[in-house]
Structure 1
């Protein structure tokens, strides 16, 4: 599956949006990928996650478990794990830090792929990877449906992206005039009540 094939799935779902958006990272962007409109369709989600699982296997071989950050990574993490034929778990915030909860545990040294939805700066991925390592997992790679950093996000382990885009993202105090002139939408989840 090519990057254009992935974008076609987002377009078909009405999930490739243009305007002025504040991302979960706090950065502002003229493009937003509303992945939940993609993931709500089981067939579309399966196509993308099957392709991601195949890419993971081709690049790092077999893994023991897939772990995702809550909330955005849970659906693609689960579906990718299904195609990898491994258990799916997720970390969630407790006291501001990602942790495995709900009885989830990792065998020491287990080969883990961390599965994300969209990567912009890599912050959530790095935090998730740190939690996995703290729990005893060996993170062999991170994977995502879309890397919107153009390959610049450093997550600390190899990043396997189904699609790589170079979408601009700006700090609030460095907006280009054409973006600043558009009303802001804040569809991200990081600033929701904790």
Structure 2
């Protein structure tokens, strides 16, 4: 699946937003990919994840487990695992750090790929890798539906992306004038746990 077809699916879902957004990385942008609008549609999600699974299989061969960061990548992680005929699990934050919880365990020697929905700076993927890299597994690499860095991310592991869509982003202390004058919205899921009562 080509980048334009991926972006067409996002556009048709109303998931290509324009305005002033604070990304999960903390950087600001005029554009935001609201993947949740895509994941509302099982057919569109399946189409994207099937194409990603095909690229993963071509790059890495057999995959036994897919691990994704919660919350945003749980759905595409699961759906990609389904097409790979692999098992799916996710990491969650505990005291601010990603960990395997809920009794999830990766068996010794398991062939594992980290699957994320959209990558900008790579922080969530790196944190997911950190959560499992010291286990006795074969961590093959990572895969994403959309690479917003335009192929510039270095995770220290191979990265497969279904599409590259480089979007300009800005340091919050050095915003262009048009963004300084526009209220910012933070639509991502990274800080959800901070707002949840225990």
Distance in structure 2 (CA, Å) of the matches to 1:67 and 1:60: 15
SS in 2 for 1:38: helix
SS in 2 for 1:90: strand
CA 109–154 in structure 1, closer or farther in 2 if over 3 Å, else same:
same
Q: Deviations over 1:5-49 (max 9, x none)?
A: 000000000000011100111110111000000011000000000
Distance in structure 1 (CA, Å) of the matches to 2:71 and 2:91: 9
The root-mean-square deviation of aligned C-alpha atoms, in Å, is 1.1
Shift of 1:2: 0.5
- In the alignment, which residue of structure 2 is the partner of 1:148? 148
CA 166–19 in structure 1, closer or farther in 2 if over 3 Å, else same:
same
Shift of 1:159: 0.9
- In the alignment, which residue of structure 2 is the partner of 1:72? 72
Distance in structure 2 (CA, Å) of the matches to 1:185 and 1:158: 32
> TM-score scaled by structure 2?
0.94
Moved more, 100-109 or 2-11: 100-109
- In the alignment, which residue of structure 2 is the partner of 1:185? 185
- In the alignment, which residue of structure 2 is the partner of 1:139? 139
> Is residue 162 from structure 1 mapped to residue 181 from structure 2 by the alignment?
no
8 Å Cα contact 1:76-1:117 kept in structure 2:
yes
SS in 1 for 2:116: strand
> TM-score scaled by structure 1?
0.96
Counting only pairs closer than 5 Å after superposition, residues 1-194 of structure 1 correspond to structure 2 as: 1-194=1-194
Distance in structure 2 (CA, Å) of the matches to 1:193 and 1:98: 12
Q: For structure 1, list consecutive stretches of 5 or more residues without a partner in the other structure.
A: none
Distance in structure 2 (CA, Å) of the matches to 1:134 and 1:40: 35
Q: For structure 2, list consecutive stretches of 5 or more residues without a partner in the other structure.
A: none
Distance in structure 2 (CA, Å) of the matches to 1:113 and 1:85: 13
